Chains A and B, each alone.
Chain A
Amino acid sequence: MASPPLPDDRSPVPPPPPSFTGSPTEFLKNVVGKYVIVRLSSGVDYRGVLSCLDGYMNIAMEQTEEYVNGSVTNQYGDAFIRGNNVLYISAAEPL
């Protein structure tokens, strides 16, 4: 499929930065050490610094706050989250 012509050739969409290919693996590599929001399928959010993760999406986080319905319900210095519970990981600071 040919992409539709840009409405204006002089203001094209800026290309993404070179480090960011957009692949999920690339995202996960870049997001380690960053401040993230991890949402579980239960709807609970964990906000903190992503220490590391593995292929099952098991996650280790630091300085983690647990949010239920927008309010903090718990705080953990370190937390291990079992991967099967993870709905998504969102970067909460620029990569």
Chain B
Amino acid sequence: MDPSSSSIQEPFDLIRLSLSERVYIKLRGDREVTGVLHAYDGHMNLILSDVEETILIVDPDSATEAPVPVNVAKRKMDMLFVRGDGVILVSPPSRA
């Protein structure tokens, strides 16, 4: 087993190892945020700082084709609570 994964016994270990690191989060509603992770709980409620949110505006008519985002809206926030039920995926910074 490669050393980076040796300390991971349960999925939440991955998140724990990302505390104080910048993480990428994919949310419901075609939203993505990146930010520095400071807290989380078992619901995947998160508290992040230095946050950038990206809202992908996809063309609903091309839903059958590969949905290419026609536009993106970005905004920054200092400190943000993200409710866990909207979280799809969390990716820590790549530990090479």
Tell me, yes or no, whether A and B come into direct contact in the complex with CB atoms closer than 8 A: yes
Q: A interface vs B, CB < 8 Å?
A: 40, 42, 46, 51-54, 58-60, 62, 68-71, 76-82, 84-85
Does the CB pair A79–B90 fall under 8 Å? yes
Known A54-B11, A69-B67, A79-B91; further 15 A-B contacts with Cβ < 8 A: A40-B88, A42-B88, A51-B5, A52-B10, A58-B11, A60-B11, A68-B67, A69-B66, A76-B89, A78-B92, A78-B95, A80-B14, A80-B89, A80-B92, A84-B85
| Contact-residue bracket for chain B | 20 to 34
Does the CB pair A54–B12 fall under 8 Å? yes
Q: In this complex, what residue of A is CB-closest to B40?
A: A80
**Cβ-closest 6 pairs across A and B:** A77-B94, A60-B11, A58-B11, A76-B91, A80-B90, A69-B66
A78 partner residues in chain B, CB cutoff 8 A: 4, 14, 91-92, 94-95
* A51-B5, A68-B67, A69-B65 known; A82 vs B14 contact (CB < 8 Å): no
Does the CB pair B66–A82 fall under 8 Å? no
* B71 contacts partner chain A, Cβ-Cβ < 8 Å: no
Q: What are 26 contact pairs spanning A and B, CB under 8 A?
A: A42-B88, A51-B14, A52-B9, A54-B10, A54-B12, A58-B10, A59-B11, A60-B14, A62-B5, A68-B66, A69-B66, A70-B66, A71-B66, A76-B94, A77-B95, A78-B4, A78-B91, A78-B95, A79-B89, A80-B11, A80-B15, A80-B89, A80-B91, A80-B92, A81-B89, A82-B88
